[in-house]
Structure 1
């Protein structure tokens, strides 16, 4: 009689669970999970105790005998596993006894139950389970990727034994049970083999993937090492190719690195300097004494990566201006100092040159205006007093125009040398601007001494200057401003000397003048006059006056000169001699000149038939003559009033034309080609009248009144006037004498062959209405006494 179904089920499932737990113990132990191994071992022991109790109280039957025998074998494995877990030893050392134990146990079972047909199937199943177990233990002892296969094989072996006893009742009770059992074993074998192969393939793929990952990691390491090597090579090449010098030294100051840039800067070979002290790169006068080098290096540590200027030593002994940045670096586990060095000697030289050029004149080398103010200002603050001198070359533009700018440069350099030689070593000499120079003479406070020095200055400046086998003389106008009070500002002194210089220039040039308060008052008056000119209402304040010109041979009216008059709203009449120069300097002369042109043409057109033979002579200022729109504006105004070009004559002065003789010739040539008359005003007062008279396309030459004043009494003056009249006659020009005031002068001019006369003897300048009534309509009565 067999045990109850419940008892069989408990024992069967207990065997299966025990086998699974044993497989989990082996797997957990193989992965290092000793903690879980203890847990599963405890559960397995508990299940074994339950099975053992059931076997003790169950009735003795053949199946239970086999259960008991298998339980003994399972308990032996549990014991071996427990001992291995507790002692920390591998299970594999006991597997060598497994075949022997299996054979003995199989022989025993076969001998004990040889009469039972079912028991004859037992050895085959046990051998199959043993094969599973041995394959599992083989894989478990192999490399780590195959250990899971070992655990799986062992577990399948135990499950095979469990299936043997589970199928025992079926095999005993049915005739076909043995075949059924055999088919079960075959199916189980196929399923187990498929599972093992699948797991093996999975583990192989995992192993291949792990190998691929390992190879990629190895390749990354190799590439990283290759990049490190390439970076080092690239760094070495870069350090050798950069223009900056790189010097490496240890904490003791011994040179351990020296690139080609450093070789080029210091002119020394690296092999000669490696191992030597960095003091070899310092000037001998700046090399530290023994023990001070560490102090210098410590100073660099305090200011790492901060650029600083140092002085180096070239191999030829010359000093180098260097810019250096020091940084710390660990090289071969040792602290090193890396210095990046740049030779800034050329940059320093250029900076010094730029600094010098910003404070000095490039042509003469003298201090410029700003530097002069600094030097003189510091001396005045120190309590010095003396004399401030303002020097201006006379007619310097003429030198540039006639001989060229190179000749002008030579004249300026010669002037600078002469001033430096006359001033002495204690004086400050500077070029103010253009052809202007300023000097500060310390200690000059005696008036007689100042006059003597100024006379010597004017005299020596006139020494000839040679250029391109041509000699020319210089002259200057000098302004003197004594400084007895050191509290006076430099700008004030310069302005005072400048005013004195202009006074000397207006007085005839080539002379000096002392500053006085009247000059300042005159300067303020001019400034006020300029402001009034700017805000003037021309139509309300300006008017025209006309002074007639007479032909001497027929005593006929030949024309009139147009003169400008200014009467302020306060009924103050301002002389043209005062406001015309101011208008020239401030640029107001342009609008004044075109206002005169417009109103002169308007009056001439308004006189009707009376103006048929009239020629109005209009003065052109220097600014007007060099205005690019001059000819076009003249044509536009003339055509608008319906006048003929021959009815207008334009007067230019020598000084205006000489400012740019070539341009003046072109402009005057255009006007003459259009039919306008041209006259040269104030002839004889300039310095180049005869040399340029033939070049200027003029029709009439006006002799200045200064020649006419002493014409009767001064024989030399009479000879000079006669020569001018004869010369201009040979050049095909007419001559007009200005400033004729007496009958004697008129008769003398008539006898010398002068063509026309103009002056108070004939008529004073009169307004337009009076000119029409008294001159145009009453000319015969006006000139009856002449």
Structure 2
């Protein structure tokens, strides 16, 4: 069926508008023709009602059109026209052939307005009317055939036209749909360009601006109206060099996009760094018609990258070089001094350089009491002072939180002379850094008294076993010297020497071997008896000895300080605690009825889980807690007195006893000492060594014995080696226990268990 194509949106369809207009005009024409027909065909007859009837039919059609039912209006007009014309034809109002022609026109109208189905129905009505007229003799077959020929010819032509019109409408609809899609795409692209954060310009082939997005206005300060028609190199790519311009033109002419970094000037004169991309726009023939210029400001990104690069080699608080940068600097200085082929060596005559490490003493105390903000202000002021007192040619760096490096080039032509000169520089630094004034505090300037430790080395110096010097070796040697300065109490200047290095290397070797000794069971427990005035063994102190597989027996004085400095004292102390508890659970010890004491280091005692460890080892070994005595020193009271007392009270609740070792040699308040839940004091051998009836030590020892007696404490005297010393002590305090070579030497625990009298001197 050929009908008008109905678009999706009928309100805006052109076909609907034309159909409505046609229906209205046909309705008006129909009403007018009805009156004309009545006037000319009804003269002298009773056909006067034709005009009013035609008007009624046209009026109903117009009403249907007004209500939006234009197709029903067209159908109504065709039916009314066919009926009225047929009536006039039947009643001889017109010539029958004329009526048939009128009906033919109505069929064509029906085909055009309604479709071929309605037109075919109307054509059938015309044919039937014609057959009726032939039958009644109004027309002959020749007239009917002529009218039929005209009817079907017009109907066929109309059908072909409708089909072509329909195809045309389909093509138009498809074109409109494609155009609508393109319009939407263009709208999206336009909005994307308008809202892009990058500056976008469209320029013609002469480089003149024909479009600028809002981001361009915001970033450059130019208004779009100001730049339209102006050259892009004048208002946008102001930093484009001639070489870049030529390269860009050559690239875009090949249809490729060009990209580079350009330093452009904004309207207010500021310089920004832009990442610029210029892409060609090709027309249908593949030729460049326009250029799209995209600019992205990368100034902040470059600034951030530069900041990152700066922080990679500089300290964030002081802006000094960091450790990595110092290593690079030292390597560069060493490379500059290297000469010769094959194994690298240094010439006989060259400049010696110096590296000084300066560390602020008591830094951790400041940090605990003053806080991070104050410490940053202190460090910044310290660095200002360091810049002022350091040699002008020196390079400064912060390599640790409280440690600074000073690299001084060309300090001498010989190693000795360089060391002397550097020592003088170190003393000047120490003197100049004694007082530092902090000026950046909110509460006002503050002057802080500081002391610094300085360790230094000169280079290049090829250490034994090496082929050349390196930055790592230089830093290590300076660290060795600084470590010695700190070990001497701080506030000292120390130079690196091979002997010092050997001493530290020995300590490191002891540390490594001690770790192996703990794992492989090379440690042994010795016991030294404690006897009363009658010579009876009343107890013993457990002492650790190290039986090295190569070096033999190593005494505690050679490895205990190393264990304390490297942290191995904690596992060593835990091992000793377990061994002593196992000895206490031995039937032979229980048969003797004596207790055992063991030293507990300050580091071990301050472990948060120390009380739990002691409780656990007592439960695992089954040792009687009342026979275990823990020997502690006054150093426990230097920090956290209340915490120390709480731990001791918790252990006393288990039955463990405490002895205060080296009594009288510390600096703690006697009031604090008396608060400790101790049951025994041990007089240090320093008081016993020169003990005589009228000596200075005798007065102090008698006073200490009086303190112990007033608190009902046991007393053990260490280091008793002479009979006169023992007699004097027993005269002052008959219940005193003596421990020393006079009575017994330390013996292996297993041998002591077999015979507690073993090791007793005659």
**TM-score, with length taken from structure 1:** 0.62
* Shift, 1:405, TM fit: 4.9
1:565 is matched with: 545
1:594 aligns with 2:546: no
1:499 aligns with 2:480: yes
1:298 is matched with: 249
| Separation of aligned partners in 1, 2:156 and 2:700 | 133
1:438 aligns with 2:438: no
- Superposition pairs of residues 134-149 of structure 1, within 5 angstroms: none
* Shift, 1:314, TM fit: 3.0
Structure 1 pair 712–359 and aligned structure 2 pair: CA distance change class (3 A):
farther
Q: What is the DSSP-based 3-state SS (H/G/I as helix, E as strand, rest coil) of the residue aligned with 1:219?
A: helix
1:453 aligns with 2:422: no
| Separation of aligned partners in 2, 1:720 and 1:576 | 28
Structure 1 pair 482–731 and aligned structure 2 pair: CA distance change class (3 A):
farther
| Separation of aligned partners in 1, 2:181 and 2:736 | 104
Structure 1 pair 621–425 and aligned structure 2 pair: CA distance change class (3 A):
same
2:469 is matched with: 488
* Shift, 1:399, TM fit: 3.8
> Is 2:199–2:215's contact at 8 Å kept on the other side of the alignment?
yes
1:278 is matched with: 232
What RMSD over aligned residues (CA atoms) do the two structures have, in Å?
5.4
User: Alignment partner for residue 394 of structure 2, among 394, 416, 427?
Assistant: 427
Q: What is the DSSP-based 3-state SS (H/G/I as helix, E as strand, rest coil) of the residue aligned with 1:382?
A: helix
Instruction: Name the count of aligned residue pairs.
Output: 602
> Is 2:626–2:656's contact at 8 Å kept on the other side of the alignment?
yes
Structure 1 pair 259–767 and aligned structure 2 pair: CA distance change class (3 A):
same
* Shift, 1:488, TM fit: 1.9
* Shift, 1:255, TM fit: 3.2
Structure 1 pair 741–318 and aligned structure 2 pair: CA distance change class (3 A):
farther
1:356 aligns with 2:356: no
| Separation of aligned partners in 2, 1:494 and 1:279 | 55
1:632 aligns with 2:632: no
Q: Please identify, of 595-604 and 322-331, the stretch whose mean Cα deviation from structure 2 is larger.
A: 322-331
> Is 2:227–2:235's contact at 8 Å kept on the other side of the alignment?
no
1:269 is matched with: 223
> Is 2:455–2:481's contact at 8 Å kept on the other side of the alignment?
yes
1:341 aligns with 2:295: yes
| Separation of aligned partners in 2, 1:750 and 1:400 | 51
1:676 aligns with 2:656: yes
| Separation of aligned partners in 2, 1:403 and 1:587 | 28
Mark the runs of 5 or more structure 2 residues left unpaired by the alignment: 1-103, 113-139, 338-350, 463-467
| Separation of aligned partners in 2, 1:409 and 1:199 | 105
Cα deviation code 1:391-445 (max 9, x no counterpart):
3444543444455555555554455444433333322222223433332221223
* Shift, 1:729, TM fit: 11
Structure 1 pair 714–359 and aligned structure 2 pair: CA distance change class (3 A):
farther
| Separation of aligned partners in 2, 1:656 and 1:678 | 13
> Is 1:253–1:297's contact at 8 Å kept on the other side of the alignment?
no
Q: Please identify, of 193-202 and 353-362, the stretch whose mean Cα deviation from structure 2 is larger.
A: 193-202
* Shift, 1:619, TM fit: 1.9
Q: What is the DSSP-based 3-state SS (H/G/I as helix, E as strand, rest coil) of the residue aligned with 2:325?
A: helix
| Separation of aligned partners in 2, 1:496 and 1:612 | 55
2:184 is matched with: 230
Mark the runs of 5 or more structure 1 residues left unpaired by the alignment: 1-134, 144-184
2:353 is matched with: 386
* Shift, 1:493, TM fit: 0.8
| Separation of aligned partners in 1, 2:448 and 2:708 | 27
Structure 1 pair 647–449 and aligned structure 2 pair: CA distance change class (3 A):
same
| Separation of aligned partners in 2, 1:717 and 1:300 | 99
Structure 1 pair 755–608 and aligned structure 2 pair: CA distance change class (3 A):
closer
Q: What is the DSSP-based 3-state SS (H/G/I as helix, E as strand, rest coil) of the residue aligned with 1:444?
A: strand
Q: Please identify, of 510-519 and 586-595, the stretch whose mean Cα deviation from structure 2 is larger.
A: 586-595
| Separation of aligned partners in 2, 1:692 and 1:296 | 89
> Is 1:694–1:731's contact at 8 Å kept on the other side of the alignment?
no
Cα deviation code 1:287-318 (max 9, x no counterpart):
75xx7785364376489545432212233322
Cα deviation code 1:617-669 (max 9, x no counterpart):
332462x4465554333212212333343433444567788688897676556
User: Alignment partner for residue 321 of structure 1, among 236, 259, 273?
Assistant: 273
2:38 is matched with: none
| Separation of aligned partners in 2, 1:540 and 1:246 | 78
Structure 1 pair 709–520 and aligned structure 2 pair: CA distance change class (3 A):
same
2:455 is matched with: 479
1:528 aligns with 2:509: yes
Structure 1 pair 237–357 and aligned structure 2 pair: CA distance change class (3 A):
same
1:310 is matched with: 262
Cα deviation code 1:78-120 (max 9, x no counterpart):
xxxxxxxxxxxxxxxxxxxxxxxxxxxxxxxxxxxxxxxxxxx
| Separation of aligned partners in 2, 1:714 and 1:408 | 54
| Separation of aligned partners in 1, 2:158 and 2:634 | 115
- Superposition pairs of residues 693-772 of structure 1, within 5 angstroms: 699=678, 764-769=745-750, 771=752
Larger Rg: 1
1:603 aligns with 2:554: no
Q: Please identify, of 443-452 and 699-708, the stretch whose mean Cα deviation from structure 2 is larger.
A: 699-708
* Shift, 1:388, TM fit: 1.5
Q: What is the DSSP-based 3-state SS (H/G/I as helix, E as strand, rest coil) of the residue aligned with 1:443?
A: strand
2:212 is matched with: 258
Structure 1 pair 406–546 and aligned structure 2 pair: CA distance change class (3 A):
farther
1:89 is matched with: none
1:518 aligns with 2:499: yes
Greater helix fraction, Structure 1 or Structure 2: 1
| Separation of aligned partners in 2, 1:630 and 1:734 | 25
> Is 1:324–1:341's contact at 8 Å kept on the other side of the alignment?
yes
* Shift, 1:462, TM fit: 4.3
* Shift, 1:374, TM fit: 1.0
* Shift, 1:205, TM fit: 5.9
